[in-house]
Structure 1
């Protein structure tokens, strides 16, 4: 176990690892994102994320590094992933399987954090309309769902998350966070780089083995 910047790295294979992250006010700036994606992914749990007039609390993230075979950056820069090799603190938006948009925030060069799920808070009625459901937990419980709910598309690929129309700010509460293997990938599945707010009903999927 290693501790970096107050965050706990637990790299047990295929295990759910609970820990408490004592959260204080965090200033949102380029330096916050110019760090290891595993560190940033943990720090983002509990933060408020808005796009225009819709959004909520981040309850699930995944980290991707350039030496990670599951990362889009693993084989170097391309036209599709060029934003991942640009400045930190910018959105990397891509379409998964040609269907669903997914929103990531760039960290150090070639690394990013995927926003997997939100707890809806702002603009809920608009998000219900966009998603075609009145069930709150179905609005943003997955990367494709939240992009549809917030109307995030490839048109905003590369924009800064430190400026309008995005609002990203820290919360003031202590959270118990769980960590486990990432999902929906076929490589790097042993790495516990998926993080979530324990017992949140808005996760894309429960963490296996989490009470």
Structure 2
């Protein structure tokens, strides 16, 4: 069962605390908290699954250079890159390198912490395990859309990254999910044993 944390336990993550390396950032974000402040209250979840999209990665949105759609991916590390996948689901990413590089970390799953009732309304489901298990689900639960694209996640605002005194458990590593290019690279990270991790069981051992 998710443990609800008091809002004062969340501290914004400074940019200086984020590794200037995409793979290291994907690992570092496991156990950190995504905070979404909405008019009706705060919603938050602990990151339990990420994917890294590194420089020269054919599966990355920055592979062919900057466009109006992906420009936020090229911002300094710690900014939100939000895109609509297949015209259906929004995806929340964190830019991960120096300005102009175009790499990022996809937030794939969260453990719900605060605002669970709000998440259930946003998602239209009561099932706790399914509220934020998968990138499209978590974006819907937190009401993340393109209006948040480019936001600085290293300071408090409508959407931000936080840390607390929580120590994550063992971190697993696997290939990424749902891609066809550079699909064999071990760039997905997840909290072993978490029921909120997405993907098939064969990747979550």
Instruction: Indicate whether the TM-score tops 0.5.
Output: yes
Q: Matches of residues 52-131 of structure 1 in structure 2 within 5 Å?
A: 52=37, 53-108=42-97, 109-131=101-123
1:160 correspondence with 2:149? no
The equivalent position to 1:170 in structure 2, one of 163, 166, 169, is 163
Give 1:206 shift: 4.0
Structure number with greater CO (CA < 8 Å, separation at least 6) is 1
Give 1:167 shift: 3.7
TM-score, normalised via structure 1 length: 0.83
Instruction: Output one character per residue of 1:155-180: Cα deviation in whole Å (capped at 9) or x when no partner.
Output: 11000001212342224314101000
What runs of 5+ residues in structure 2 fail to find an aligned partner?
1-10
CA contact (8 A) 1:34 1:89 kept: no
CA contact (8 A) 2:96 2:105 kept: yes
What runs of 5+ residues in structure 1 fail to find an aligned partner?
1-25
Distance in 1, Cα, partners of 2:90 & 2:79:
16
80-89 or 135-144: bigger deviation: 80-89
Distance in 1, Cα, partners of 2:70 & 2:50:
19
The equivalent position to 1:204 in structure 2, one of 192, 198, 201, is 198
Distance 1:185-1:56 versus aligned 2 partners, 3 A rule = same
29-38 or 46-55: bigger deviation: 29-38
Q: Which 4+ runs in 1 deviate beyond 4 A?
A: none
Aligned residues: 186
Instruction: Output one character per residue of 1:32-81: Cα deviation in whole Å (capped at 9) or x when no partner.
Output: 33511110000100111111111211000000013000000001111111
Alignment-derived partner of residue 30 in structure 1: 15
Distance 1:150-1:70 versus aligned 2 partners, 3 A rule = same
Q: Supply the RMSD in Å over aligned alpha carbons.
A: 1.6
Distance in 2, Cα, partners of 1:101 & 1:38:
22
Distance 1:161-1:182 versus aligned 2 partners, 3 A rule = same
